[in-house]
Structure formats: structure tokens, C-alpha cells
Structure 1
């Protein structure tokens, strides 16, 4: 569930909003449907980004999805970049709601702002990435990235030599927690003796802070390092030490080509196309979308050039099971850090259980801040 707090000045926000791309020249909102000539009108669509597409990660992939939607549906959307989570976000959503029909908010910390603005604009459709609050005109969307994390964890478990892996977590929210857990389960599936050491950066995109967090794990001797942030700072720090790295959100191989394994990767385009089309057709209904790897919303990035073929083959075989629906990442038995059974043999966690996960699996070293 992206994203919490990024502090920028009010002046920067105003500048960013002013410089954001206003795509449609028509200044009046239009309702989706047919016009007097029987032709379907095009809705005005807006995207709100926490960062910039140049982050190479989370925002980049959302922007790629926007471009796919524009190309397939012939719609040019408005984008507003660098919008911090907090009070200023509500003002941005309010301004967009005055002149758009569909608004996508792509960060977890936008949730309350979107809820408030959606209540005041019942004719506008709001879609929130990674949130959990819905209403008649507000839906949420996310994907089962934990499936990708498990697969990458398998590769990591095969690549480690000293069984000490590190993970730089972003914020201690369920989305990050269940991803770290899935990664660890993947590691343990091929290497039961391995441990995963977790530290928190409390950032989504702060290369300096993320490098510092990564360095703290590298100094402890981890020989594989994964990270959940939008920047490649952690895997770059790892590569400088000759340590294997695993990025996040998008293919980050170019940042550490010699020591790159892979990472979970998003593909938002199909969701954006389907959702906008459903709104145009009048078939859209609010939902909490949680797509799977089979749906194509999440995958793993191509393996790094130095990953052995037997590791690739092992991961691909398990991926095939996930796609066929014969393997569930969170199928029991699963125990927490204390050894207490959380998921019994033959049982699987429900979606609600996963989306509210607040505990680490056995084999993780580190704590979840309260």
C-alpha cells in the first residue's frame, strides 16, 4: 500500500502542479457515454504521482501503464507529479475533480484525501492504488506482488553462500510486510538454513537514506540484498561490495548489471485500459481489485546476466505452478518468528488475512515497528 509521507515545500507542490501536463484542451468535464451524434465521448482522466517517472521504479511503471491506456483508448491524460502525501494532496485531488471524470491516485498515503474528495464529487470516479477504503465512486487496486517476491526469493536462496540475506523495508505496512514474508518463504523453500535480516528506511524514494540502510546490512555481512524502495540505491551499494542485489517495482538491472538477480515487476497498463474502458461503457462498479501474476499485473524482471541457468530453470518451474494455480505462496504450515503456527498444514491465508498481515515469518531477523 503505497505511499506514506514525503516532505516537500508548498512552493514546490504549487510549481509542480502548475508544470504538470494538462492534456485535454476541452475545459468542460464530460460524462462517459454517447453524444448527440451517437459517438462515445472520451472521459477526462488524471493521474497523481508521488514522485516522477524518472524514479525508474514505482512511478515509472504507473506512467508506462498510463501511456498504454492513452494509446489503446485514444485518451490523453493529465499527470501531476511530486505530490506529497498529506494535507496538500487533498487540494490537488480537489482541483483535479473539478475538471476530470476519472482520477487515479498512485500512492498509499493519498487514501484519506481521496476519500474526502470522492465524497464531495459523486460523479467522478476515483481509483486508489494500494488503499483499502472504498465507496460508490472510489475503488482500490493492487496486485499479488508477493507471488513475484516468492520467486525472486527462491533465486536469492540459491545464490547466497553464507545463508545471510538482507532486506531493506520501506514502511512497516502490510504490503511491505507480506512481500518480505513471501520473499523469505521463497528463500527457505530452497535453503531452509538461510536467514533474512530486515531493516527499515522509512522512505519510498530517498537514495541517501536507502543507501545508508543498505550499508548497515552490508556491514553485517549479507551476501544477497533486496529492497522495497523506488530507487536503486540499495542494489548499487550492494554491487559496490560485490554483493548480489534485488530491486523493486521495475527492471533495475541497468543499475547493477554484474550483481543483479531480478526483482518483482509491475505491469499496470492492462488494468488502466480495462478500468477506463469499463467506465466509458457504463459497466464499472467499485471494487477492491487484487490482481494476480496470471492476470499479468505483476511478474519478475528478466534475470541478471550472471544468474546461473539452473537457478532460472528452478524459478521458471515454480512460476508455471503459480500461473496454473497449483501453488499458493501462503499455504500452510507457516510459523511466525517465535515459532508459533500461524497457518496450519493444508490451509491457506485468505486475501483479507494477507492484506492485514502484521507479523514476520520464521527465519526473519528484525522487528516490525509499532
Structure 2
């Protein structure tokens, strides 16, 4: 072989090795889609905190992208499609209304791994994940049921989907377990994040006699409204104690990082499989945080005791016998709802004087 031929072959070999090495060191691209702003101090904020924690955990092996304020519907499908076309190997879509767009994208991009939060549609490359937020709501109900002076709690609801209906029920069940005279007032706002609407809803509930506000929405506006009127409330999704230090009883925090780390690691290892994952207090994906030190000792004790009993399995909120508010038996005696059954709860428990909107 002539010297110039040998140098060309050697150069090509070095180039090939370098390219393979560079490719191997490229970080895995992971995309996130949020329904609200990362600054909502609630649902989207905590998903983004999970993203950041996951990125830090992998120390340069993962590169993340997020798109915030994505409407549920056609816009979501465009965003998810663009993330897939941009080389993201894993895509997390984080709101119930992203379910159908995510399912469509999963079929179009079979080599991309998708995970959708709070939905139920699955595929070979599409899994689902959800928090047992009803566990935190049950604890909230116990604390609120003990603390209320009017025996009336206010609940700010978002959309009539199983996740929200479950949590309304769990709040009432927890409150009813300690206060037989409890009433639950519900206002629907048809939004996940709108501080103005949330504040108006909180005030409307307080005008109806509610002295403790529980919310499914994501801004601290309801807590701030409660503080202005000398009432109390419970933080949603993140620690909201600093927004209303007097009104804030505690917050139920969503801690997504462990799930994001586990899923991305599984994709890296080639072991990822589609599953319907539920995480709760036991897994520390749901956390009771910043209990107000000014609360009576009996309420602080009830909060920690109820949490411990849910973790141990002594309390399973949706266990029969249980009727709906029309008197029909929905859960037989001794039966606890399976995850599949929990995912289709679209009825109010006995005692809630309200109708689920269409």
C-alpha cells in the first residue's frame, strides 16, 4: 500500500472512531409538554422541578426541552409532533387533555418513548403515570373537617374528569370521617390556571359559608384570598406556605423527579416497558409539607396519623360498602377500588349535595 493510501485509510478509521465516540457521548434528548406556565407555583411548576432534578441526576447524559402554556387539543398535537421530529427520544406530556394527541404521536413515531400523565390510553411505546392525589385529599379532608367552624368546606374544581371527581370524593370522605356534619361546596372554574378566576371562586365559596378552601387549580390565588378574609386553605401541588403564612394549613406536594429518573434510566438501559404507573404517599411522590405550626396539636397529630395509616394500608379511601349520592351502591363491602376502577370514577359519594357537570 502506498503511503498516501495508508494515510487516507488511517484518517478514515480515526474519523469513524471519533464519530462513533462522539455519537455515544451525545446526551439523550427528553421533551416535556406543560399545560400551564412553569411559574404557576402548582402542577406545571412541580413537573418542571422534576425535570430539573432529573437533568441534574444524570449529569450531562440528558438534555431536556420543555414547552409551557400548551392548550389541550390541536396545539398540543403540533407541539408533541415537533418535539418528536426534533430528536427527543423520550417525551412526557403532563395533562389529561394531552391524551389523544399523545396517542396519535405515539403511533406516528414508534421509536420514541412517550409517557402521558393522568390518562388511560396506552401503546407499545406509550405509558401512563399518575399520582394518587386522592390520598393527599383524604388527609386534607380530615384536617379541614376538624378545623372548620362553619362545618362547610369549599372546593375549587377544574374539569369534570375522573382525577378531579376522585379528589372531591376523597376530600369529603376524609372530612366526614371526623365530622358528621360536614358540607362540601363546589365551584367549577373550567381552567387549570387562572389566578383571577381562582380568586373569584374562593370568594364565592367563602360567601356561601366555607371557611376552609381546597383547590384543584394551580395558582396560590385561592390561599391569598382566604388569608385576606381570615379563612384557611390547603396548598395544591407545591409548597404554597410563603404565599399565605396564616391561612396555609399545609400543602400536598407533587414530587415527580423519582418517576422521571426511573423512566429515563429504563429507556437508557433498554428495559422500559409500557405501564400504568400510580405513585402516592408511600412512594414519596406525594408529600405532606409545611404543616402550619399554629395549628392545634390534635389537628397536626391527625394529619401525621392519617398519612401514616394511608402509607401502611390501614386506610384505603375508596373501600366499600360505598354508595353514590343517588343511593346506588358503587363499591361492595370489603372491596377496594382497583387502579382501573379508580381511573373511571365519575360519581359523587353519598352526602355530596351536587351534580357533576356535563
Query: Of 290, 299, 317, which aligns to 2:287?
Result: 299
Cα displacement (A) at 1:219: 0.8
- Map Cα deviations across residues 39-67 of structure 1 (whole Å, 9 max, x no partner): 67632111111222211000110011111
- Map Cα deviations across residues 55-113 of structure 1 (whole Å, 9 max, x no partner): 10001100111111111112231111222111111111111101211111111111111
Query: Of 328, 335, 338, which aligns to 2:323?
Result: 335
| More deviation, 328-337/127-136 | 328-337
Q: What's the counterpart of residue 346 of structure 2?
A: 358
Conservation of the 8 A alpha-carbon contact between 2:28 and 2:63:
no
Query: Of 213, 217, 223, which aligns to 1:229?
Result: 217
2:140 aligned with 1:159: no
2:65 aligned with 1:78: yes
Cα displacement (A) at 1:186: 0.5
Conservation of the 8 A alpha-carbon contact between 2:36 and 2:192:
no
2:124 aligned with 1:124: no
Query: Of 64, 73, 90, which aligns to 1:102?
Result: 90
Query: Of 91, 115, 121, which aligns to 2:78?
Result: 91
| More deviation, 164-173/300-309 | 300-309
| More deviation, 289-298/172-181 | 289-298
Q: What's the counterpart of residue 56 of structure 1?
A: 41
Q: What's the counterpart of residue 159 of structure 2?
A: 171
| More deviation, 338-347/198-207 | 338-347
Q: Matched residues in 2 for 1:97 and 1:38: separation?
A: 19
| More deviation, 313-322/179-188 | 313-322
Conservation of the 8 A alpha-carbon contact between 1:259 and 1:306:
no
Q: What's the counterpart of residue 19 of structure 1?
A: none
Cα displacement (A) at 1:365: 2.6
Q: What's the counterpart of residue 131 of structure 2?
A: 143
Conservation of the 8 A alpha-carbon contact between 2:138 and 2:175:
yes
Cα displacement (A) at 1:213: 1.6
Query: Of 334, 340, 350, which aligns to 1:346?
Result: 334
Alignment size in residue pairs: 336
Query: Of 24, 43, 51, which aligns to 1:66?
Result: 51
Structure with the greater alpha carbon radius of gyration: 2
Cα displacement (A) at 1:36: 5.9
Cα displacement (A) at 1:305: 3.4
Q: What's the counterpart of residue 197 of structure 2?
A: 209
Q: Matched residues in 2 for 1:163 and 1:191: separation?
A: 8
Conservation of the 8 A alpha-carbon contact between 1:152 and 1:300:
no
| More deviation, 238-247/141-150 | 238-247
| More deviation, 132-141/255-264 | 255-264
- Map Cα deviations across residues 273-327 of structure 1 (whole Å, 9 max, x no partner): 0000000000000111112221111122221232222111112112112212222
TM-score (norm: length of structure 1) = 0.87
Cα displacement (A) at 1:340: 3.1
Conservation of the 8 A alpha-carbon contact between 1:198 and 1:364:
no
Conservation of the 8 A alpha-carbon contact between 2:185 and 2:205:
yes
Q: Matched residues in 1 for 2:201 and 2:22: separation?
A: 59
- Map Cα deviations across residues 206-261 of structure 1 (whole Å, 9 max, x no partner): 11112222221111111111111011122221221111112211111112110111
Q: Matched residues in 2 for 1:37 and 1:92: separation?
A: 29
Whichever structure has more helix as a proportion of its residues is 2
Query: Of 31, 39, 45, which aligns to 1:46?
Result: 31
Q: Matched residues in 2 for 1:55 and 1:97: separation?
A: 26
TM-score (norm: length of structure 2) = 0.90
Q: What's the counterpart of residue 4 of structure 2?
A: none
Conservation of the 8 A alpha-carbon contact between 1:154 and 1:190:
yes
- Indicate the RMSD between aligned Cα atoms, in angstroms: 1.7
